[in-house]
Amino acid sequence: MHEGPVIMQYLTDQRPEIRLAPPNGTIERYRLQERLNFLSTEIHKGFIPLLYAVAAGKYVDTPRPKLEKRFEWIDRQLTDRPYLMGDTFTIADAYLFALTGWGKAAWLKSVYGAEIDLTSFDHLRAWYGRVRARPHVRDILTSEGLNE
């Protein structure tokens, strides 16, 4: 296995009692797969030129507006729900948490500081705070030296 969303689902399915993904065959599982694919193709892939800005040269400005629009869409999705899939934290939230940390905003601990400003996304900021406050997330960030 080589693709992040597939690996995440495989690992989650090894411990279904943790409920990081809806059961296979349900419409909720397909919605999760939809979110994972969006994150992989629209957010993760969109960051690549920003992470390699020197190599991308003048083309670095091309993906930025598209990536901003994608984060704007995510921000709207979080208007009336605490997590991407609703009331439950899933692997989609874990994936988005990692990806969000690649951008810039005063409210986030940036890993790469890529040239995408997430400051104006209030719902994303609130979501980020909820995820960051989760005990297991705090433990992982501490073990990786990423706590503030």
- Per residue in 13-29, pLDDT (tens digit) is 999 999 999 999 999 99
Helix 91-100 / helix 122-133 crossing angle, nearest 10 deg? 110
Strand partners, 117: 104
Q: Domain 4-143 belongs to what topology?
A: Glutathione S-transferase Yfyf (Class Pi); Chain A, domain 2 (1.20.1050)
CA proximity to 140, closest of 98, 100, 110? 98
- Per residue in 93-132, pLDDT (tens digit) is 999 999 999 999 988 888 888 888 999 999 999 999 999 9
Q: What is the DSSP string of 74-106?
A: HHHHTSS-SBTTBSS--HHHHHHHHHHTTSB-T
Residue type, 55: A
* Every domain of the chain and the residues it spans: 4-143
